[in-house]
Structure 1
Amino acid sequence: MSLAGKWTYRSYLNNPELVGDNAQTALSLIFGEGVFTFETPTPRTVVGTLDMGGGYVLDLKGTVDPECEGPTTIVIRGFGRDGTPTAGWEYDYYGWPGYMWPDGVDQVPSIVGTIVRAKPHNGEPAGVTASFIAVAQ
């Protein structure tokens, strides 16, 4: 799987409560949304951005390990930009390529994983976790 390119990104709070048909409750579980733009300078490195709109951008640096035991791992650190609303932000992402079904119909490559707020910001504590999915555009 090639990571280079754009990926629609959404993260979700890990709330185990069912939402039923309550659309507002379902929407309240979204922790973040934006577009990952990845470049792969080498087969084992990834750089890019997470653009959440409105000047909210994280600069990304990470590694890809296709030779680990089990599925390929993707480990990325996101850093806020000085002079923007994300100044001082830091998030860590740990993910894997979504399984590509041999008989899947119109399946789009995906990355699934977890995220942690590595540093506190805007009065919110470090350590908050969420799950994420990114789908190739």
Structure 2
Amino acid sequence: MPIAGQWTYRSYLNNPELVDGDANRALSLIFGEGVFTLETPSPDTVVGTLDMGGGYVLDLKGKITRDPQGPTLVAMNGYGRAGSPTDGWEYDYHAWPGYLWPKAVHQVPSLLGTTIRAKPHNGEPAGVTASFIAVRQ
């Protein structure tokens, strides 16, 4: 599956409690949202951005590991931009393509993964993790 392109990104706090139909509780689990714009300058590298709107942008750099006998791994580091609201931010992302069902109807390609805050920022500690889903636009 091609990695290059635009992907709608949403990350979720890893809280195992059920939301029991409470929409506000469900929305409170969203950790981040934006658009991955990814390019693959070579078969094993990925670069791009995560644009969360309002000047909140991370520049992404990473590697693609393709295992003929296993899943493709996309590992990226996201760096905040100097002088912007993300100045000093750093996040790491690991993702795998979602399974493409042979008999699916209108299935949208997806990347499934986790992210970690690699450096503290805005009074929040490093080490916070979240799961994410990115779907191709």
Report the TM-score when normalising by structure 1: 0.98
Which structure 2 residues correspond to residues 37-116 of structure 1 after superposition, within 5 A? 37-67=37-67, 70-116=70-116
1:61 to partner: Cα distance: 0.2
Relative to 1, partners in 2 of residues 1:126 and 1:69: Cα closer, same or farther, differing over 3 Å?
farther
2:3 counterpart residue number: 3
Once the two structures are superposed, what CA deviation does each residue of 1:84-122 show, in whole Å capped at 9, x if it has no partner?
000000000011000000011100100000000000000
Relative to 1, partners in 2 of residues 1:20 and 1:87: Cα closer, same or farther, differing over 3 Å?
same
1:28 counterpart residue number: 28
Q: Unmatched 5+ residue regions in structure 1? A: none
1:70 to partner: Cα distance: 2.2
Residue 34 of structure 2: SS of its match in structure 1? strand
Q: Which amino acid aligns with 1:104?
A: A
1:68 to partner: Cα distance: 6.8
Once the two structures are superposed, what CA deviation does each residue of 1:33-68 show, in whole Å capped at 9, x if it has no partner?
000000100010000000000000000001000127
**CA RMSD across the alignment:** 0.9
1:20 to partner: Cα distance: 1.3
In 2, Cα distance between the equivalents of 1:61 and 1:5?
15
Residue 24 of structure 2: SS of its match in structure 1? helix
In 2, Cα distance between the equivalents of 1:33 and 1:128?
16
Asked if 1:15 corresponds to 2:26, the answer is no
In 1, Cα distance between the equivalents of 2:46 and 2:95?
13
In 1, Cα distance between the equivalents of 2:55 and 2:127?
24
Residue 26 of structure 1: SS of its match in structure 2? helix
Q: Unmatched 5+ residue regions in structure 2? A: none
Identity over aligned pairs, percent: 72
Q: Which amino acid aligns with 1:63?
A: K
In 1, Cα distance between the equivalents of 2:135 and 2:74?
14
1:69 to partner: Cα distance: 5.4
